[in-house]
Each structure stands twice: as structure tokens, then as C-alpha cells.
Amino acid sequence: MQVSGLSADHVRDESPTFTRTARGLPLDPADMATRDAAFELREALRDLSGLSRLEKCGLSVLAGGVTPVIRNGRAGYAGVVTCGSVHVCPCCATSIRRVRQDELEQVGQFWECQSCGLVMMTLTMRHYERDPLAELAELQRQAWKRSFGQNAGRDWRQAKKDFGVRGFVRAWEVTHGENGWHCHYHVLLFLDRPLGSDDVERLQKLAFSIWSSALVAVGARMPVEKSEKDGKPVGVKIDAPDRGESGQMARYLMKGQDGKTRWGVAAELTRQDVKQGQGGHRTPFEIARAAVAGDARSVELWREFVVTATGIRALYWSNGLRKLLAEMGFELDDRTDGQVAADDAAAGTPLACIPAATWYRHIARQKGRALALLHAAEKGGSSAVRRLVESWGLTWGLDVLEPEVLPAGADPTADEVLRRIERETMAARMGVWRAEFDRQDREARTNRIVRHSAQAWEARAAAAEKVRQDAEAEAARRAETGEPADNLMTRIQRGWVDAGLPRQAARTADQTPKVSLKKPLKVKPMKVVVTPPRPGAGADTCRRCGGHLDAILRPYGQHLADCLKTDGPVPV
């Protein structure tokens, strides 16, 4: 049974319904330790990362106060800002990647139930220690566009038809090792039929040809097709999971922090927050932990990663795939990363209400208290929270209040507050930039005026000196020849005037008279000079054309203008 031959109704009738659900299970001690480590790492990375969103995450209050909540044994905070950074924030990354992993696992199960195929394609590129991460990421992005993206060539378009590619989900991952940054793509291809081993091998060779050509075209190095040591694929690797493994889909084996975690394809795509690098490679959060411990090289690497990864999408769905799954009956999670992080932190039963003043002064800025309050909530609920708060010298009912149940939508969401903060920050930056641009413009105009004035004065001084030297030479010549000598100072002044006349004439010629359209134009009266007639010139007819003359023209004896228009016969 293939997707291309199924209608949406048929799929809904015979296939089980997969919907977005939250696990809602209590955390085991290992997960608790991971959560605590993430809290401590976020606290240490606030000043180290230089990212404003991370500085406010878990610290800034949204509106009014903070509410500790608990859900299925797991405590959190509602009413605080969550940055939603899937790359940089260890707390938000855990929440976001867990939700995305669950969604991908369910999508894989649903797709396999339609007797369709899934393969995962890993795309790598050659790199060295001297290569900056930003340059590698840009080359990787350009190569993707040319090979499998929007600018893909004829080979890949034909391959999509031959192998039945209906869409893909692409994940970006990066590690660091002896040869520098190693950024690569994991691409989960959704096919309308399972592929055999021969088809997988053929697809891998074709994908390597397309990917290597794109890398070379954008200026990257030619990748290695197979390793010389073991003959395994390097540049492009395609894995096809066996159907039915673990009842869902094939899983890859990857070691987590405990060394026992069993990883599937979905985890390989999403859970970079708890993965460990292999072969001497370190994940970004491993670099962050080393940077917090004081390693100077790790500090440089972490800051380079923050600058580069902030604008890169961790998970990308191809156009049309989500719509196809929705038509087939699968309900997808349409929340953004920021909404996922905020919902995960705020969901639960409220235990107390901490006003903003108390939160900032006695909890958020006191190292370890925010995490200790979560531990108390998970152990003893509201009563344990009250005992802990009173042990800090705070008064229950005054400094910390009973929880209030607010209607939905009464408080702004974390995403709304973050957007407002970003707009205010950008407006402040624009003001600083505008003031700096104005200052530079004024300085440039001043320098230009001073430079032109200095050049003009230097030219005048040089002309005056030349005139003086010429006058002195002329006076010396006349003294030798005995000719009468003019006054030297007079000659010098006359030379200055002569040298200045052309410049003044040129300046006057370049000037254009300005006419104001706002002021009325003043018309100067014209002086008309009328020459009186000569004595004896009077006559009744024109002596030139013989035409009749009016009384006003008779003293002149002729037409003053045109003699061709006559009243009588023209004399020959």
C-alpha cells in the first residue's frame, strides 16, 4: 500500500490516529540531575554568551509575579521569560528538543503504518582547524540550495520521481574536534515505498555526486566518498531502517551522558542537547561546560558558536510535507520553539505567587535559590515551598502570596514579552546609530570645509609668493639695464589683483541667479524713447505705400510698421 494511491478518507479509516500528546511522566533521578545541571549551566552562561535573550531567560518577570507550578511530579515556573533558543539555552533546548523528538517518533510510526519508506541521509563536508564556523555554515547552506534545495538541478528532480521522495525533515548539527568545526545535515527522507539495499546504494551514489558537485561549485572542498580505513561512506551516508524494529522505526545507537541511552532516528535528528561527541568531537554544550570551568579556548569556541548558530534553524520541514501529513490524518504541533518552551515551563498546578520585587531581590539574584525552590516543590508541594520561603526570612502572605488562578490570556505570553523587549532594544539601537551617523556627517562636512579652505589659502599664498618673486626679478632686471623702476610694492599688489581676477571671474560665471517662487516678481518699468517726427514730414497718405494714414500717423507721413497692409492703391 503506497501513499500515492491512497485517498485521505481511506487513510483515516484504516490507520490508527496519532495526535500530539505530552508524556506527563514523573522525572527519574537521572532526568532530575540533568535538569539541575541545565539550570546551573544556564546561570553560568548568562554573562559568558553575550546573548540578551539568554540573559533574561528564567530571570525576567513577565507581569506581576512568578508562580511555581508542579505537573506529574515535575516543578517549574510560570510567569518568567523563556528565550526559546534551541541552540544556546540548555533549559529551553531540552524542552524544545524533547517535544520535537516525540513528534518525529510519532510521524515515523504513522508513515510506516502506510507501508511507506524512510531513509536518513547524512551530509558532511571537509574542514580544518583554521576554518571559521560561520564560513562553513554559509558554504553548507549554499551547497544545500544548489543540490537538494530550491535551486536543485535536473538530477535531483528526476531522482525524487524515481525514488518516490514526498518530502524531508532536515536537522542541523555541529561538533568540534581536532580538525575544527564539523557541521553536517541529518535529512529524513519520506518515500512512498520502502527501498531495497540496491536502491539505497544507488541513491547514495547519486546523492554524493550531487552534493560534492554543489560543494565544489560554492567554493568548498571536495568531500571524500569513502573512508580509506574501513571503506564506510563519509561525504554522504544513507541509512534505511528495518521495518518494525521496536514496533516503530529503526533506531540508531548513540550514547547519552549516562552511556546507556538507546537512540532512534528521531533522537539523532533532535537531541543534540544531551548527545556526546564521538572520536574526540565535542558537542556545543560540552564546549559550554568546559568554558564555564575556565578553559579559555572553549570560551572562544562557545562565543563563536553562539554568534553563528543563533540565526540557523535547527529543524526544517520541506514545503508541503506538513500539509500532506495533515491531509492523511496526522495532527502536527504547530507551536513555535518559543511557545513550546513557555508552555513546558508554565504548565502545572500553581503552588504560590511570588511578587516581582520578592523574586528579583530574594530568589532570582541569589545563587541556587530558584533551583532549591523547585526541589522543595517536587518533594513536599506547597507546604514545603512555604517552609523554605520562611527559612529565607520571608513572610508568607506578605512577601510570598497564595497562588492566584488567572483567566487565560490575562498575562502576556513569553513570546509577546520577548518581542516587545526586542522592539524596544532595536529602537534604542536605531537611536544610537542615528546619532552616530549625524555626528559622522557633521564631522565629514567640517573636515571638507576646512580642507577646502586650507587648499584655497595655500593656493593664494603660492600665487602671492610667485607674484612677489616675479616683481623682484623684474626690478633687478631694470636696475641692471638702467631702466626706470616702478614701485615694488605697487607691482606686487598689481600682480595679486591680476592673479585674482580669473578666479573671481570664474566664480561669478558659475553662479546661477536664484528665483524664488514664493516672492512676487518685481517688474522694472521700461523706458520708451519716442523720436519726434521731422519737420515737414506730415501728409495724409503714406509716402512709401500711398495708403491712407490715420490722424495719429499724419504728422509722420508714413506707416510706422508694415506698409503692405494699405487702404489704397500701392504706387508703382
3 state SS of 401: strand
Q: pLDDT at position 268, please?
A: 40
Residues sharing a CB contact under 8 Å with residue 546, sequence separation 6 or more, in sequence order: 566, 568, 569, 570, 571
Strand partners, 117: 191
Burial of 122 (0-12, 13-18, 19+ CB in 10 A): middle
Measured CA to CA, the distance from residue 34 to residue 41 in angstroms comes to: 10
Strand partners, 236: 123
Blockwise average pLDDT, block size 10, the chain, 572 residues: 33 36 51 82 86 86 84 83 87 84 82 83 92 94 93 92 91 91 90 88 93 94 87 87 49 30 40 52 90 92 91 88 88 83 77 89 87 89 90 88 60 59 70 78 76 72 78 78 64 57 46 59 61 72 79 76 53 44
Residues 241, 118 contacting (CB under 8 angstroms): yes
Domain boundaries, the chain: 115-327, 436-481, 536-572
Q: pLDDT at position 207, please?
A: 94
- According to DSSP, the β-strands at 315-317 and 354-355 are unpaired
Q: pLDDT at position 250, please?
A: 32
Q: pLDDT at position 464, please?
A: 75
Q: pLDDT at position 20, please?
A: 34
Residues sharing a CB contact under 8 Å with residue 274, sequence separation 6 or more, in sequence order: 34, 94, 256, 257, 261, 285
